[in-house]
Chains A and B, each alone.
Chain A
Amino acid sequence: MLQIIQPAQLAFPEPVEASVIAPYLFVSAAMFVIGLVGFLTRKNMIIMFLCTELMFQAAGLALIAFGRHHLGADGQTFVIFVLCVAAAEAAMALALVVLLFRHRESLGASAWKELNG
């Protein structure tokens, strides 16, 4: 019933049933929601962007899990592009945080309350 870890590079992976990837999907959903809750509750802008990275990570895990079920490489390929977008987002977001910090000397998102409109 329980699989022992197998030398993965040697052979094409065996097909798995849906009940094997279901726990991975649960972890992925939980990770996504933890990121979302963090984004909504924390006031520090750096932590907020870190939480978006966590949400990317959760999406990547779901992609890999579904890719494993379909035995295709498309899921993994898509994770490469998720990584690429995450890197671009990190660069832009951190530059923006540094810029905003220089203006107000504070990392709080509420320092920019007047942008509420």
Chain B
Amino acid sequence: MVRVVDEEHASLGIGLGHNTRSGPVRRVCSKRFSPDFGNERDTVEQIIDPIALYLICGLGAAGVALALPRRDREGGRTMTIVGGLLLAATFGLGALMLGLKAGASDSPLPNYFFYPFAAIGLGGALRMITHKRPVYSALYFIMTIIASCGMYLLLSAEFMAFALVIIYAGAILITYLFVIMLATQAPTGDKDELLDEVDAEAREPYLACAIGFVLIGLLTAAMFRGIGDLPQPTRDTTLAQAEDAVLLNLPRKVDRILERNDLLPEGWRVARDAETGRAVLDVDARTITLELVDGEDAHGHPNVIATRVLTGEDWPADLSANNLDRLGYNLLNDHPMMIEVAGIILLMAMLGATVLARKHVELEEDLKAAQARKLGAYIGDQQGGAS
């Protein structure tokens, strides 16, 4: 059964309840090439007041322009504090406007935890580009990374959150810290004369901030207009398809879960399809077929003695593909070529880094001679010891 969703309401994407009827949903995208601007503006206005959005962008631009590094004799310290306060006020205004808008309509807000994570992430990013000392910039970037890990957790991407901590905060940023410490003489204070010349002031702060925050306004407006046209996923279509695809291909995982729930008698297992090796189960109808296997026949196929079907009430509550299963299955099943390409990129980067950072050591003539004598004596000792 295919239902056609009414485009007029579906394109808003907001304020509609979830579809509860079963059956795949097909959307008709008749408006893709004939944009209706009135309708699109509604989508932005449902999320945030456009005037507030552009006000936030302007205030943010002014704050960043003030907070960027400046020489102390030009009042750098005071302006940094003023810029910071302005940015904090901007963030508060943004959260308030989003909240007011969401409270007025009945569209849901993100989780409570989103707001502190966003504040820490953006604050860390701002302090990173405004701090005069590179080591502190790198440390603030680690703070941003950890705050975005929090946002990944809220978006149910658990594996990527922890991978980000390990790879970014644990490996990439430590490499940055090492290079910063190698390449700069660490100053002991924040005084301008102690700092490296390149860190003392920013280049063209006003122009860059103006252009940057026009870009934020455009990006945000474009994205907020676009997400109104996203198809609204519904539990009955997406869930069943995604779980089917992963669970069917992981019969041993299904075995383990059934065993954990004491649903698998001795010698029984989930039935495998003879040709594809997939598990025989139906997520929609909540049925699992089990089989009793005894040895193998002449062709190496398992010898199935008996089968039985577990139905709805026996379906274990924890029989579902978790985030890690789905991610691993997607990575290895849908993008195997990309893994090879990633391997080649990393290998080339390693070789390139080694070649670039290699140091040519020029030894003096007498030093070389002394080393040769030492080597000769060592070889002589070895031969003497052997005979």
Q: What residues make up the interface of A, taking CB atoms closer than 8 Å to B? A: 1-5, 8-27, 29-38, 40-44, 46-47, 49-51, 53-54, 57, 60-61, 64-65, 67-77, 79-81, 83-92, 94-99, 101-102, 106-110
Contacts and interface: CB of A to CB of B under 8 A. Distances in A.
B321 interface: yes
21 contacts: A1-B103, A9-B322, A12-B320, A15-B235, A17-B14, A25-B227, A26-B220, A27-B118, A32-B219, A34-B64, A40-B211, A64-B160, A67-B155, A69-B233, A77-B327, A77-B334, A84-B342, A94-B179, A95-B356, A107-B198, A110-B198
A64 to B, nearest CB: 5
Given A72-B242, A85-B345, A38 B153 contact: no
B156 A97 contact: no
B125 A34 contact: yes
A25 B175 contact: no
A81 B318 CA distance: 30
A21 B167 CA distance: 25
Interface stretch (B201-209, B260-268, B365-373): B201-209
Contacts of A106: 197-198
Contacts of A89: 349
Given A8-B156, A37-B64, A18 B352 contact: no
Given A5-B154, A92-B353, 9 more contacts: A1-B102, A5-B113, A46-B176, A47-B129, A61-B152, A92-B349, A95-B352, A96-B356, A97-B179
Nearest to A105: B183
B239 interface: yes
Contacts of A94: 175-176, 179, 353, 357
Given A12-B239, A77-B327, A81-B342, A1 B350 contact: no
Interface string B190-231: 000000111101111100110111011001100110011010
B168 interface: yes
A28 to B, nearest CB: 9
Contacts of A49: 176
Contacts of A17: 13-16, 107-108, 232
Q: 5 smallest A-B Cβ distances: which pairs? A: A38-B129, A88-B349, A108-B198, A73-B330, A95-B353
Given A12-B321, A50-B138, A77-B327, A41 B205 contact: yes
Which of B94, B113, B176 has the most chain A CB atoms inside 10 A of its CB?
B176
B122 A71 contact: no
Nearest to B214: A33
Which label, helix, strand, loop or mixed, suits the secondary structure of the A interface? helix
B102 A36 contact: no
Contacts of B137: 47, 50
A30 B349 CA distance: 29
B32 to A, nearest CB: 17
A46 B179 contact: yes
Contact of B98 (A23, A57, A88, A110): A23
A44 B171 contact: no
A23 to B, nearest CB: 5
Given A5-B113, A50-B128, A68-B157, A19 B47 contact: yes
Interface in B119-156: 121-122, 125-126, 128-129, 134, 137-138, 141, 144-145, 148, 151-156
Interface in B93-111: 94, 98, 102-103, 106-111
A33 B322 contact: no
A8 B148 contact: no
Contacts of A60: 148, 160, 164
A41 B148 contact: no
Contacts of B138: 50
A73 B216 CA distance: 27
B219 A29 contact: yes
Nearest to B182: A98
Which of A33, A75, A101 has the most chain B CB atoms inside 10 A of its CB?
A33
A72 B39 CA distance: 28
Given A15-B18, A33-B212, A88-B349, A73 B329 contact: yes
Contacts of B110: 3, 20-21, 23-24
